[in-house]
């Protein structure tokens, strides 16, 4: 952990007042302050309260000095702080404004709290604004999701989605038949494995036991069982907290936690044994994660308990970093061989999770699937650069990987181009948490969606942004047992299931508004986006077309040995 991380951790407002935290506040400066205060008080007592001491009444003497200890303490604290601030070299402004600078530091620390509760408007906060969070909280509790008087959103705002309603339709759902009975997708039909049928389009995205607490995983798994959805256990391996009866997708991260040999490579016997678990329905090879493409999973040592270390087969007391990429393969052929290996051992569908960059990569996967029927992934999870994480460097989180919408459109287009779209299921992940976002993802080509942070909100997450510090105040992204106890597993599981069901019902409502039976019929001409004041474009004109154009342009430019920009300049000159 970097010094900055440590500082951030120790100053976190959500930190519980643990013994360790108190210990941390003792350093050479506090020691000097304490010794000076004690000495000054004793000297004062000796010279000015001597009578009491002479009377042999040392207890009264000490009590009479308590007030002075406080007063001297305060004065000396200011003096010591002044010297400290003047002599430290980390912060120039602290040297110019010693002592008073701490008022500024306090305000900075308290700022996020004040802004969140008092000043930030409902649509302002990131990554999830208050309207979205409240919608999830209410939906998870099964509260009525109706509003009076009309929308609070500005429908003319750039980026707003508008569903194209069908006024005249003969679809049977319009007669009030039970909603949603149409949605059904089968995974693994083309590769000779035990196929898996999805009857719900919302599933719980990968989050490991380690990133999240044991209770959080118990609630997610029980909630998945109640809702009839899948829970991806994340790259931390399978743990007892996953055994609540919910169906599991086992994720194989680059470190192969849970199924690795002593060299960190895939252990076939362990994988075979794991595949016997009745709850595990599919396996997922994680190639990359939207919040940190090019970097493997990170688990800071504060979160590595002996149980987690045993499950992952890693040591305690040391941050765990998974390699950036799989050592077993380095190209699409190697990936296909690895998928075959996992599929042969497990006899279950095998998917991949990836982040889209240049379109050529997913095109290569699609082309290979087309050349080699019966090979390749059973499903592809596209994670957007806008996705979440337990811990990630800010640079990757904020700048790497296409966002979900663009990524899904690219993948859908590439698979269609090579005529293999019908052989693979696309999961979309990346800041999807409300029905309109589910509808948009499906309109752009997703067959189902993966949600991580939305489900964390349903558990009770308050977006304290403390996932990486082990100090999550809601007991979700922490291994601190005291904080974890706040989470009631059964109640949280009910919220998880209710949230999944509300998403189902309300996305279905949007599909019906378009005149369809099921959301997988919504296409990218059924939703328009406000692209500038007074101007709307179809989704199909934005993300899909830009993927297509990008691919063509790059292909052409590479053929000429130029960058896309250079090619355009050359063409303009002609």
Phi/psi of residue 172, nearest 5 degrees? -70, -20
Q: Which stretch binds ligand FMN (CB under 6 A): 382-390, 488-496, 514-522, 563-571?
A: 382-390
Q: Which stretch binds ligand FMN (CB under 6 A): 80-88, 96-104, 207-215, 412-420?
A: 207-215
Residue with tokens 């342009």: 553
Q: Which stretch binds ligand FMN (CB under 6 A): 175-183, 386-394, 514-522, 559-567?
A: 386-394
According to the binding rule CB under 6 A, does residue 211 interact with ligand FMN? Answer: yes
CB distance 223 to 493 below 8 Å = yes
CB distance 206 to 452 below 8 Å = yes
Residue with tokens 């052989």: 423
Binding track over 333-372 against ligand FMN, x by CB under 6 A: --------------------x-------------------
Residue number with CB closer to ligand FMN (65 or 204): 204
Structure tokens that stand for 546 in this block: 């830009």
CB distance 400 to 293 below 8 Å = yes
Residue number with CB closer to ligand FMN (179 or 446): 446
Binding track over 66-85 against ligand FMN, x by CB under 6 A: --------------------
Q: Distance between alpha carbon 470 and the CA centroid of its chain, in Å?
A: 15
Give residues with Cβ within 8 angstroms of 323, minimum separation 6: 254, 255, 264, 296
Structure tokens that stand for 193 in this block: 């494995």
Residue number with CB closer to ligand FMN (205 or 471): 205
CB distance 169 to 543 below 8 Å = no
Residue number with CB closer to ligand FMN (179 or 365): 365
Using the rule CB under 6 A, which residue among 190, 217, 260, 286 binds ligand FMN?
A: 286
> How many amino acids of this chain bind ligand FMN (CB under 6 A)?
30
User: What is the bridge-based pairing of β-strands 161-163 and 527-532?
Assistant: antiparallel
Q: Which stretch binds ligand FMN (CB under 6 A): 192-200, 308-316, 380-388, 562-570?
A: 380-388
CB distance 201 to 438 below 8 Å = yes
Q: Which stretch binds ligand FMN (CB under 6 A): 12-20, 411-419, 449-457, 543-551?
A: 449-457
According to the binding rule CB under 6 A, does residue 208 interact with ligand FMN? Answer: yes
Structure tokens that stand for 369 in this block: 């699937």
According to the binding rule CB under 6 A, does residue 539 interact with ligand FMN? Answer: no
Using the rule CB under 6 A, which residue among 453, 494, 495, 543 binds ligand FMN?
A: 453
Give residues with Cβ within 8 angstroms of 181, minimum separation 6: none
CA–CA separation, 369 vs 346, rounded Å? 20
Using the rule CB under 6 A, which residue among 293, 296, 430, 475 binds ligand FMN?
A: 430
Binding track over 503-522 against ligand FMN, x by CB under 6 A: --------------------
Secondary structure of 531-545 in the HEC alphabet? EECCEEEEHHHHHHH
According to the binding rule CB under 6 A, does residue 290 interact with ligand FMN? Answer: yes
DSSP-derived 3-state class of residue 412: helix
Residue number with CB closer to ligand FMN (212 or 266): 212
- Cα–Cα separations (whole angstroms), residue 426 to 420, 441, 442, 541, 551: 12, 10, 9, 20, 20
Q: Kindly state the smallest distance separating residue 429's Cβ from ligand FMN, in Å.
A: 4
> 476 - beta bridge partners?
none
> 247 - beta bridge partners?
230
Residue number with CB closer to ligand FMN (209 or 516): 209
Q: Kindly state the smallest distance separating residue 120's Cβ from ligand FMN, in Å.
A: 20
According to the binding rule CB under 6 A, does residue 289 interact with ligand FMN? Answer: yes
CB distance 46 to 10 below 8 Å = no
CA dihedral of 237, 241, 242, 244, whole degrees rounded to 10: 170
According to the binding rule CB under 6 A, does residue 258 interact with ligand FMN? Answer: no
Q: Kindly state the smallest distance separating residue 264's Cβ from ligand FMN, in Å.
A: 16
According to the binding rule CB under 6 A, does residue 452 interact with ligand FMN? Answer: yes
DSSP-derived 3-state class of residue 35: helix
Using the rule CB under 6 A, which residue among 385, 387, 445, 515 binds ligand FMN?
A: 387
Residue number with CB closer to ligand FMN (127 or 142): 127
According to the binding rule CB under 6 A, does residue 320 interact with ligand FMN? Answer: no
Using the rule CB under 6 A, which residue among 383, 506, 520, 526 binds ligand FMN?
A: 383
According to the binding rule CB under 6 A, does residue 451 interact with ligand FMN? Answer: yes
CA–CA separation, 448 vs 197, rounded Å? 12
Give residues with Cβ within 8 angstroms of 550, minimum separation 6: 359
Give residues with Cβ within 8 angstroms of 147, minimum separation 6: none
Q: For binding to ligand FMN (CB under 6 A), which residues are involved? A: 205-208, 211-212, 234-235, 251, 286, 289-290, 297, 353, 383, 387-390, 429-432, 450-454, 467, 477
């Amino acid at each position: 952990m970097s010094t900055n991380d440590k500082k951030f951790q120790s100053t976190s407002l959500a930190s519980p007042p643990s013994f360790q935290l108190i210990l941390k506040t003792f350093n050479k400066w506090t020691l000097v302050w304490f010794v000076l205060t004690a000495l000054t008080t004793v000297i004062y007592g000796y010279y000015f309260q001597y009578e009491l001491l002479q009377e042999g009444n040392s207890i009264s003497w000490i009590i009479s000095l308590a007030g002075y200890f406080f007063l001297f303490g305060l004065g000396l604290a200011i003096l010591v702080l002044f010297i400290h601030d003047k002599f430290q070299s980390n912060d120039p402004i602290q040297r110019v404004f010693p002592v008073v600078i701490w008022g500024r530091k306090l305000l900075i620390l308290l700022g996020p709290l004040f802004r969140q509760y008092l000043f930030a408007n409902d649509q302002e906060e990131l990554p999830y604004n208050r309207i979205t969070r409240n919608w999830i909280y209410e939906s998870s509790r099964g509260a009525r999701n109706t509003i009076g008087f009309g929308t609070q959103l500005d429908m003319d705002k750039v980026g707003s989605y508008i569903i194209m309603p069908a006024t005249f339709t003969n679809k049977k759902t319009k007669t009030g038949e039970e909603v949603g009975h149409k949605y059904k997708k089968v995974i693994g039909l083309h590769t000779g494995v035990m196929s898996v049928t999805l009857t719900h389009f919302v599933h719980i995205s990968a989050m490991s036991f380690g990133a999240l607490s044991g209770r959080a995983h118990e609630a997610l798994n029980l909630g998945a069982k109640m809702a009839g959805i899948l829970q991806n256990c994340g790259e931390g391996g399978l743990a007892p907290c996953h055994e609540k009866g919910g169906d599991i997708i086992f994720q194989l991260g680059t470190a192969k936690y849970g199924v690795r040999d002593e060299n960190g490579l895939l252990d076939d016997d362990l994988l075979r044994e794991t595949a016997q678990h009745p709850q595990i329905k599919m396996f997922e090879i994680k190639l990359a994660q939207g919040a940190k493409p090019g970097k493997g999973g990170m688990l800071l040592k504060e979160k590595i308990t002996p149980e987690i270390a045993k499950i992952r087969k890693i040591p305690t007391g040391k941050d765990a970093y998974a390699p950036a990429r799989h050592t077993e393969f380095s190209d699409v052929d190697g990936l296909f061989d690895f998928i075959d290996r996992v599929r042969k051992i497990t006899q279950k569908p095998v998917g991949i999770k990836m982040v889209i960059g240049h379109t050529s990569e997913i095109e290569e996967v699609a082309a290979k699937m087309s050349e080699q029927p019966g090979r390749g992934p059973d499903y592809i999870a596209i994670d957007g650069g806008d996705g979440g994480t337990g811990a990630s460097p800010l640079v990757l989180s904020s700048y790497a990987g296409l966002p979900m919408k663009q990524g899904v459109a690219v993948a859908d287009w590439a698979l269609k181009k090579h005529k293999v779209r019908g052989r693979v299921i696309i999961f979309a992940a990346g800041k999807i948490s409300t029905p309109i976002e589910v509808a948009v993802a499906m309109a752009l080509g997703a067959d189902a969606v993966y949600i991580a942070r939305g489900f964390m909100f349903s558990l009770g997450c308050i977006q304290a942004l403390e996932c990486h510090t082990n100090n999550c105040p809601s007991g979700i992204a922490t291994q601190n047992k005291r904080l974890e106890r706040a989470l009631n597993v059964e109640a949280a599981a009910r919220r998880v299931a209710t949230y999944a069901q509300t998403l189902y019902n309300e996305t279905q409502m949007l599909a019906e508004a378009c005149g369809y039976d099921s959301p997988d019929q919504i296409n990218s001409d059924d939703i328009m986006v406000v692209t500038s004041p007074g101007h709307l474009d179809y989704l199909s004109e934005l993300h899909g077309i830009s993927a297509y154009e990008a691919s063509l342009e790059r292909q052409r430019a590479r053929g000429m040995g130029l960058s896309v920009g250079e090619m355009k300049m050359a063409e303009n000159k002609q």
